[in-house]
Structure 1
Amino acid sequence: MHFWRKLSIQNKLILSMTSCLLVFVAISSGLSIRLIGNAVRDRVVREELPTAVNGIRADVQRQMAGPIAASRILARDAFLLQWEADGEPDAGTRNWIQLAKNVKDEQKAASVQWVSVKSGNYYNEAGLQRKVTDKDQWLTSFLSSGKAYDVNMDREVTVGGYMMFINSRVELDGVPVGAASMSLSVDALAKGISAYRIGETGFAYLVRPDGAIMMHRDTSLIDGKHFLKDEPGLPGEASSTLLAGKPYAYLSYEGDGGARFIATSFIPELNAYVVVQVPQAELLGPVTRAIRSAALVAAVVGLGVALLVIWLVGRAIAAPIRRAATLLSEIASGQGDLTRRMTVESEDEIGQLSDAFNRFVSSLSTLVHRIRAASASIATGSAQIASGNADLSERTEGQSSNLERTASSMEEITAVVRNNTETATTAAKMINGAADTAARGGQVVGEVVTTMEQISDASQRISEIIVMIDSISFQTNILALNAAVEA
């Protein structure tokens, strides 16, 4: 708080506005990053991810279109249909072998098969391999399904291991009589699937409608025992959302490596789903980093421009106040020029402050002039008072002399009074003696009368002296009062 009090108004304005600006920039940047991030996330899951999934689906469909078409053409081949109708004579087996090899080489298939329901023979490009047994339930299920073709994965008995089978329905006069099949190496398909990359580590694979993994870059998972629901962190209800037969479905979940996207797209031709998994950071990270970098650059540039504007505004606000403070300081120190005025440059509070300051200085200047005039009058009066005091001093000296003469007269009066007292005492004694000697005669009475007259004259003179003393005392008091008033 002490630090804040020591700051100038300009620095306070700059610090306050900069703090508010920093808070605003932080909040707005955070909101912008969040809102833009949400928008980018929506765009990723609604545009980019569907595009990637649909692209993979289209590519898988393109890759499977050739083998499927070849399998269906094989099922409708006139020679094979006649061969089937003739009971598969050995003479036609060589033709089958040649045809199967041609199809195999053309489609790069692992094997090409022909299965007859009537004879139970199971042929491939090498000829007759075996008889169909009760374990081959796939044939019965496929023919009873009524589908023109089916794509499935199963274990190939002749070669061992799992293969991708494309089964096409063989009919004679509308009656199913067998199946023309083509098996593709799962390893080759898995390599093709594993070649897809979404982001840096995102990958794609195929699953059956029940969630069983059909093709995966990890071939050990293609055993019918691993399902989509087994993915670590995937919610239990995810399968019902992702495997609902929709062209596109997605959800996000927390996997082992953090938040991830998983999206699916149904491929009717394969009766399977293409599944894409990708970490969210790989799709959103670059955009989020770009947004953060852009927000940081914008914040720095905006903050720099704002600081410049704040500095200019603070300077414009503080400069008139600083000038007013300087002028007031000069006035307070006695060195101010009361003729100087502040320039009124606006009609806002600063302009009002400048105008009020100018009116204050004008009023102060007028007051100083009045005080100066009053001081001159006081100086003249003081000179007159000094002259009067000098006259009073002279009169006081005269009165002092009069007082000295009065004191001398008082001493004489005291002596006279003392004499009169003695005379009165003598008279009293004489009166007492007269009382005793009243009988002596009128001469003594005459002497007493004469003495009383003398006493009366002396008393009269004493009374006059006392009156004169009272007059002198009154005049002295008046002079002292005048001297006090003039002082």
Structure 2
Amino acid sequence: MQTLKALYESVEKQFFDTLTKKLSSLFLLVLVSALLYWVALNIRSDIMLQLHGTQLDAAELGKIQGQLDVLSNAILLSTLFTLVMVSFMVWYFRHLIVRPVMFMTHALEEIANGEGDLSRDLPLLTHDEIRVLASTCNRFLAKQREVISSIQALTVQIAVESARSLKNISDSSDSATDQARFAREVMDQSNMAVGSIEDVSQQTQGISTTTAQNLSMARDSYAELLEVTGNISQISSSLNEFGGLVSGLNERSSSIKSIVGLIQQISSQTNLLA
């Protein structure tokens, strides 16, 4: 079976690779008819030779020859009729099958090569399976047009979204640049703040040291103040005692003055007496 299939495919590729060649194979019928006519002529000649060798009369021989001539002419007419019919069938089938197929093939080749117009439908030239095939191709082309329209709309939408995305990316890039600049500024400010904090820390440590020293000095001063306060208390006591002593001395001075006055009086009286 595989051998017969391979032989058939080989013969088809070599001799019948087009529909026209396949249709032209009908001329084999004409060849067969011509061969039959040639065989009939040979048989007629043999029959006539054999009849001439017999003792038939001329009338009977003429009748048989006439019948053979009618048969030969009938075969010839049949051969000619077959030739005419086969020629007509080849032309008709080429017009009916090959022409629409070639037209559809040409249109589809133009579409495949990018030179055709998808908006045009294939013409419906016949009323048979070729018409069904053309209608199916037209439905396929209509579906392709719908798909292409959808793709075009989707492409436009993608282009718009791409432009919008590009704008957003550009804005994001600018924003990222600004944020990077702000980040650098913040970092610089942070570095400055860190330096200031370090300075403040150092100053705070210095102030803490100074405060500790001042606190120590204040404590020492407080101790000295306590000591001075004690001394002042002692001095105040001494002053009070000195005040009492002065008061006593004042009293004694008054007494002394009285005594001196008395002595002066006595002296005056003594002088008077003297």
1:26 aligns with 2:31: yes
The code of the aligned residue for 1:323 comes to F
User: Equivalent residue of 1:51, what SS?
Assistant: coil
Q: Residue 164 of structure 2 aligns with which residue?
A: 384
In the alignment, structure 1 residue 404 sits paired with structure 2 residue 184: yes
Q: Describe how 1:96-175 pairs up with structure 2 within 5 A.
A: none
Matching residue within 143, 147, 160 for 1:367 = 147
The answer on 1:331 being equivalent to 2:150 is no
**Aligned position for 1:14:** 20
TM-aligned CA deviation for residue 15 of structure 1: 1.9
After superposition, residues 403-482 of structure 1 pair within 5 angstroms as: 403-409=183-189, 412=192
Distance 1:409 1:344 in 2: 83
Q: Distance in 2 between matches of 1:382 and 1:341?
A: 35
Equivalent position SS for 1:400: helix
Structure 1 residues 325, 29: closer, same or farther in 2, change over 3 A?
Answer: closer
The CA distance in 1 between the partners of 2:14 and 2:54, in whole Å, is 59
Describe how 1:186-225 pairs up with structure 2 within 5 A.
Answer: none
Unaligned runs of 5+ in 2: 1-8, 214-274
Change (3 A) 1:13 1:337: closer
Cα distance change on mapping 1:7 and 1:366 into 2, 3 Å: farther
Distance in 1 of aligned mates of 2:186 and 2:75: 110
Offset at residue 313 of structure 1 (A): 1.4
- Equivalent residue letter for 1:405: E
Task: State how 1:219-298 maps to structure 2 within 5 Å.
Answer: 291=72
Counterparts of 1:10-89 in structure 2 under 5 Å? 12-22=18-28, 24-34=29-39, 38=43, 49-52=54-57
Matched, 1:341 2:100: no
CA distance 1:45–1:399, change in 2 (3 Å)? same
**Any conservation in 1 of the 2:23–2:93 contact (CA below 8 Å)?**
no
- State the 1:39 CA deviation: 7.0
Higher radius of gyration, 1 or 2 = 2
Cα distance in structure 2, aligned partners of 1:54 and 1:6: 56
Instruction: Classify 1:51/1:416 alpha carbon distance in 2 versus 1 (closer, same or farther; 3 Å).
Output: farther
Q: Read off the aligned partner of 2:178 and give its amino acid letter.
A: G
Per-residue CA deviation, residues 346-396 of structure 1 (Å, 9 max, x unaligned), is 442211111111101111111122222222322332232232123212211
Take 2:136 and 2:190, find their aligned partners in 1: how far apart are those partners? 74
**1:34/1:328 CA distance change after superposition, 3 Å:** closer
* 8 A contact 1:14–1:307 mirrored in 2: no
Deviation of residue 341 (structure 1)? 2.0
8 Å contact kept, 1:342–1:354: yes
How far has the Cα of 1:410 moved from its partner? 6.3
Question: In the TM superposition, what is the alpha-carbon distance from 1:317 to its structure 2 partner?
Answer: 0.9
Q: Which one-letter code corresponds to 1:13 in the other structure?
A: L
Q: Which has a greater percent of helix?
A: 2
* Backbone CA RMSD of aligned residues: 4.9
Aligned-partner Cα distance in 2 for 1:399–1:350: 70
Q: Secondary structure at the match of 1:337?
A: coil
**Per-residue deviation at 1:32?**
4.8
* Deviation of the 1:340 alpha carbon: 2.0
Shift of 1:45: 5.1
For the residues of structure 1 that align with 2:102 and 2:167, how far apart are their CA atoms? 51
**SS class of match (2:155):** helix
Q: Which amino acid aligns with 1:307?
A: S
Output the CA distance in 1 between the equivalents of 2:107 and 2:59: 79
Identity %: 19
State the alpha-carbon separation in 2 of the partners of residues 326 and 17 from structure 1. Answer: 21
Q: Distance in 1 between matches of 2:183 and 2:134?
A: 69
Do the aligned residues in 2 keep the contact of 1:342 with 1:357 (CA within 8 Å)? Answer: yes
How far apart, CA to CA, are the structure 1 residues paired with 2:49 and 2:193? 136
Distance 1:361 1:307 in 2: 36
> Structure 1 320/394 Cα, relative in aligned 2: closer, same or farther at 3 Å?
same
Residues 1:407 and 1:320: Cα distance change in structure 2 (over 3 Å): farther
Distance in 2 of aligned mates of 1:319 and 1:372:
34
Secondary structure of the 2:146 match is helix
Deviation, structure 1 residue 324: 1.9
- 1:407: how far off? 4.3
Report the count of equivalent residues.
Answer: 190
- Matched residue type, 1:392: S
Query: Unpaired runs of 5+ in structure 1?
Result: 56-197, 199-282, 428-442, 448-487
Change (3 A) 1:13 1:297: farther
SS of match in other structure, 2:56: helix
